[in-house]
Amino acid sequence: MTAFLFDGHHIQPGEKFKNIVRIENYPYEIPYVVINGSADGPVLMLTAGVHNQEFIGIQSAVELAREFDPDHINGTVLIFPMVNRSGFEHRTMSYTYEDGKNFNRVFPGDPEGSISEIYAHWFVHDVFPLVDYCVDMHSGDNFEELTPYVYCQGNAAPEVMEKSLDMARDVNVPYIVVSNEYTHGLYNQAGTEGIPGILIERGNLSQRNTEDSTMMKNDVYNIMVGLGMLRHRKHAASTDGIVLSDCIYQMSPQRGLWYPRWNKGTYVTKGSLIGEIHNYFGEVIYTCRAETDGVILYQTKSLNILEDDVMACIGVIDR
């Protein structure tokens, strides 16, 4: 059993440690919790609030950090419950307040760049080398509704992709999306650095409820049992999440009022109506039709649609 070294602190086996970390040239102090288990095992990083208005992930991370008992854990859990503190404390719609960037699009970052890029670079260089696995917890943003699903890494070394898919199968959702991204996103970049990881999506429209956060926490517990990190819990049966090799993002050509036709999770056929954009006089100015057969994984639900915005993301089901 060994101490876990982070930010100059030696966190002993059996210890739970909470603190803030200061990052050079970055204006926010970032909270973290380390639970160093009383027995050896891997290091799992949990992140939430990468998108700051996705509250199910944040609430789940806060609760998990309080619930974990080091005496029940093999290995170490490193939790960042509020990654984009800048956005949260300015109530942006999941962008860094100072530079307007989406923190899940700036990896691997740049030490000479804007503050989001400086921060991403810090994660890659100061945190990733300490981590064996990662789980990033997201939800539907203010304008998004989604059917629960999980992304796994589809563009990394074969053993990383295999482990990532294993982790995704321990998440109790109907769909697993294999992502082709290898950079930009935190968990995508982690895969490129050799760290198996996943991104979980649960909850809608920046709402919070105990049902979704309980489900999200159960996902994390089940992943940890699968990784051999929890001694006093049984492995829930792996779910039969359908693996989707691709998803189509249908982007809006213009702004206006948005009227989605279906609910999240609906199966649609190629060519069927997905929604309409109206002008401010209520006249139809664009008709969105499905580019593929598939399931609506997520869609914009707010009345306002932006230009080049995701109207709907349709998961392609291989038959």
Residue type at 250 in one-letter notation: Q
Q: 68 by DSSP, 3-state: which?
A: coil
Piece in contact with Zn ion (CB under 5 A), picked from 58-66, 136-144, 164-172, 174-182: 136-144
Asked if residue 6 lies in contact with residue 45, where contact means CB atoms within 8 angstroms, the answer is: no
Structural tokens at position 7: 């930010």
Q: Which is closer to Zn ion, CB of 121 or CB of 138?
A: 138
Asked if 121 touches Zn ion (CB under 5 A), the answer is: no
Piece in contact with Zn ion (CB under 5 A), picked from 132-140, 174-182, 212-220, 236-244: 132-140
Q: Which is closer to Zn ion, CB of 57 or CB of 70?
A: 57
Asked if 264 touches Zn ion (CB under 5 A), the answer is: no
Residues numbered 281 to 310 that lie near Zn ion (CB under 5 A) are none
Structural tokens at position 299: 């869609």
Q: What is the DSSP string of 108-168?
A: T--TTS-HHHHHHHHIIIIIGGG-SEEEEEE---TTEEE--EEEEE-SS-HHHHHHHHHHH
Asked if 138 touches Zn ion (CB under 5 A), the answer is: yes
Q: Which is closer to Zn ion, CB of 185 or CB of 294?
A: 185
Piece in contact with Zn ion (CB under 5 A), picked from 54-62, 219-227, 229-237, 308-316: 54-62
Calpha distance 287→226 (Å, rounded): 45
Asked if 202 touches Zn ion (CB under 5 A), the answer is: no
Minimum distance of Zn ion from residue 218's CB (angstroms): 20
Q: Which is closer to Zn ion, CB of 76 or CB of 188?
A: 188
Q: Which is closer to Zn ion, CB of 36 or CB of 59?
A: 59
Asked if 51 touches Zn ion (CB under 5 A), the answer is: yes
Total number of residues that touch Zn ion (CB under 5 A) = 3
Structural tokens at position 99: 């530079």
Please provide the distance, in angstroms rounded to a whole number, between the alpha carbons at the two ends of the chain.
Answer: 48
Q: Which is closer to Zn ion, CB of 148 or CB of 226?
A: 148
Closest to 38 (Cα-Cα) out of 4, 81, 79: 4
Count Cβ atoms below 10 Å from residue 242 Cβ, excluding itself: 15
Residues that bind Zn ion (CB under 5 A): 51, 54, 138
